[in-house]
Structure 1
Amino acid sequence: MRSMNEGPRTKADITVHRPGELTAAQLGAWHRAMDESSEYANPFLAPEFAIGIGRHRRGARVAVLHERGEPVGFFPYERGTLGVGRAIGLGLSDCQALVHRPGFTWDAGELLHACGLSIFEFDHLVEEQRPFGAHVTGTFASPVIDVKPADGTYAEWLRGAYPGLGKTTLKKERRIGRDVGEVRFVFDERDPRMLRRLMRWKSAQYRRTGRMDRFSRPWIVDLVDHLFRLQEEHFTGVLSVLYAGDRPVAARFGPRSSTVLAAWFTAYDPELHYYSPGLLMHLRLTEGAARSGVTLLDLGRGDKEYKEWLKTRELRVGEGFAARPHPMAAAHRLWRRPVRGLRNTVLAHPRLREPADRLLRTVGTLRTNAASSRTPRG
């Protein structure tokens, strides 16, 4: 396969490829590197995610690092104009890293040079990435659930895993069972109509809260469709749905590796908010993950009340800008760093975050009402 080296040869043996052009041997080596280090077991670090992004992002690349002729490291990224780079799927990915075999060492400057990058932006970098350590501008909590094997009934599991939530949760499930229909949960739902339902719920949630609607972008819809259809040994797109009778109540979609499940997109029927469908969904999901062999459920970076209730511990992820001496690197950092800093300041302080959320919700309400007024009435 033709490599796509950008820039002169460096001391390290590094070749650069489009994600979809990686060989079976390279993909196998990438999967082995994920299996050999728990830090790299996250599905967002899998080649399948990089390949999915590469279907839509022309600048998607993977640098392959070699030792004695063998591929031992894999660095997925996106390259823009004038050497401005970013983690692959930045804004969608909840985990970023150079995935490598245990004991392998590498140099950040050599890597950027080989990739033709003046700067590399990241926001969910795993803590282990020491060569990038000097470029981290902040670290943040990323809550996770250490999933234990589930035995017995769901109620027995729930009382054992979350005794503080068990009684209230089971009461809400009995109530929705009486009012709407008997509660049932499908961990791996293959009906694409339910995926579309989830996207509609999530889009409505984005609009209500004043956030950017990711599913208004066709390429993100296509990416999620593509990952949903993947059922590979090392990577699977998992759609989970909570039903009350035949009525979908809540749904969640995210990628799964051999051992780690990412909680990516979660939404619920707003008409049933009284029953706390989001919490019911996450508890059912955790129990279902335990029965399917998952050992870690990644809730993703962010400060949410339900994450505080459910997490067993926190990982640390970093954000920042790895750069070489270059005018474009300085300009990009000056432009992007204040924006990230302001956002992080707001998110870190409840007195700032709560008014910001109220403002966004007000904007969302105005947008929704404006859209409704433009809709023709039959």
Structure 2
Amino acid sequence: MDISVYRPGELTAADRAAWSALQSKAHLHGLPGLANPFLAPEFALAVGRVRRGVRIAVVREAGEPAAFFPYERTLAGVGRAVGLGLSDCQGIVHRPGFTWRAEELLKACSLAVFEYDHLVERQPAFEATRTGAFDSPVMDIDQGYAAYLRELRVRSPKFTSRTLAKDRRLGRDHPELRYVHDERDPAALRTLKEWKSAQYRRTGRSDRFAKPWINALLDRLFHTRTDTFAGRLSVLYAADRPVAAHFGLQSERVLACWFPAYDPDFAKYSPGLLLHLRMAQAAAAEGIAYLDLGRGTKEYKDSLKTRDLTVSEGWVTRRHPVAIGHRARRAPVRALRNTVQNRPELFAPADKLLKTAGRLRSRKTRTSVSGTHTRNG
């Protein structure tokens, strides 16, 4: 293989165009997963602006780009999927019929190991060493929103009836209800981040928006727009008050759901579900094939989905001490997490414990703030 490795800023406009063209035609070649916006050059380039170590390997055949492999690399030669832990789809974007040997690719990229946790389907050279496979629910809308809603009524009649009833109730209680599919006001993105941070703290999870690079990445993606890619902020309003919001990434055929959140004051209406239905309706009108809800089993995903994709996690390694050390550190943590998440008898008490810790942490924060105000007063 003829493999060249570039920093994000070194990739030529011609190579970026070739990369996007492979994504645009992927569904015609039986590789629909490659159309995911997390595999787009715009995402890799955006991560490269906020994190060091992003590289892009371009594989050429007869002088023409045949595959693009984005990754992050440490000085020690540890490779990770771009945005590992944050991105919901990873892998190599390639032309139909392209094959590769993992060891040869890693050697050309000066990697001892490559770690992934959301590997797209049909990447046999990487899948051969995967350690787990997981469902990633999707909402198919390629036949139109009406067809999706009909299928939802058949598959989940009680859920559909209850959700649509809540939609009507929200409309009665707030007659000025409106939906903006492509909100361009940065203030709405800030509101979403605040809701999501509060949700993380409330449920005992690590607050992703406490990390400056993640904040910077979303801001950059929010302002990124090309013919084949966009950061998409969708907001449900009651008059001028945001009720629910979602920020995700959109390619020509896929809307990747990423950061949904809502105002807790409207919780009785299930505003997150109502927002997803409006997103599906608007995306179907734009010709989107499906909404990718992302890896993980959550009740709202199970209710909304029409089917599941499969994503994998694992490592590709070369014979190298760095690879052995990296796996020794990471494998136990990953195994424990997956065991808890995939076994209800373990997940339920763990989730309850996290939420209890989150409530105590929030209460402590409010008390501390109150005490500060009293002293200052």
The alignment's TM-score, normalised by the length of structure 1, stands at: 0.93
Shift of 1:367: 1.2
Contact 2:51–2:213 under 8 Å retained in 1: no
Residue type at the aligned position of 1:351: E
Query: Partner of 2:296: helix, strand, or coil?
Result: coil
The reply to whether residue 162 of structure 1 matches residue 161 of structure 2 is no
Residue type at the aligned position of 2:15: Q
| 300-309 vs 287-296, which moves further | 287-296
The residue aligned with 1:194 is 188
Query: Partner of 1:82: helix, strand, or coil?
Result: coil
Shift of 1:149: 4.5
2:22 alignment partner, one of 14, 33, 38: 33
Contact 1:136–1:320 under 8 Å retained in 2: yes
| 70-79 vs 240-249, which moves further | 240-249
Residue type at the aligned position of 1:196: R
User: CA offsets, 1:87-115, max 9 Å, x none?
Assistant: 01001100001111111111100100011
Residue type at the aligned position of 1:241: V
Query: Partner of 2:228: helix, strand, or coil?
Result: coil
Shift of 1:161: 4.5
The reply to whether residue 184 of structure 1 matches residue 161 of structure 2 is no
Query: Partner of 1:97: helix, strand, or coil?
Result: coil
State how far apart, in whole Å, the 2-side matches of 1:255 and 1:358 are.
31
2:7 alignment partner, one of 18, 30, 42: 18
State how far apart, in whole Å, the 2-side matches of 1:138 and 1:168 are.
35
The residue aligned with 1:237 is 231
Contact 1:159–1:167 under 8 Å retained in 2: no
Shift of 1:158: 7.4
State how far apart, in whole Å, the 2-side matches of 1:244 and 1:173 are.
12
The residue aligned with 2:359 is 365
Contact 1:181–1:246 under 8 Å retained in 2: no
Residue type at the aligned position of 1:86: R
State how far apart, in whole Å, the 1-side matches of 2:256 and 2:212 are.
22
User: CA offsets, 1:40-60, max 9 Å, x none?
Assistant: 000000000000000011100
State how far apart, in whole Å, the 1-side matches of 2:289 and 2:147 are.
15
2:91 alignment partner, one of 87, 97, 104: 97
The residue aligned with 2:29 is none
Residue type at the aligned position of 1:22: L
Contact 2:141–2:148 under 8 Å retained in 1: no
Residue type at the aligned position of 1:33: L
Contact 1:157–1:287 under 8 Å retained in 2: no
Quote the sequence identity (%): 58
RMSD: 1.4
Residue type at the aligned position of 2:306: T
The residue aligned with 1:8 is none
The reply to whether residue 137 of structure 1 matches residue 126 of structure 2 is no
Residue type at the aligned position of 1:207: R
Query: Partner of 1:373: helix, strand, or coil?
Result: helix
Q: Gaps (5+ residues) in structure 2?
A: 27-31
State how far apart, in whole Å, the 2-side matches of 1:196 and 1:150 are.
32
The residue aligned with 1:4 is none
The residue aligned with 2:284 is 290
Shift of 1:148: 3.3
User: CA offsets, 1:276-299, max 9 Å, x none?
Assistant: 111111111111111122111100
Shift of 1:256: 0.4
- The 1:150/1:246 distance shift into structure 2, 3 A limit, reads farther
Residue type at the aligned position of 1:76: P
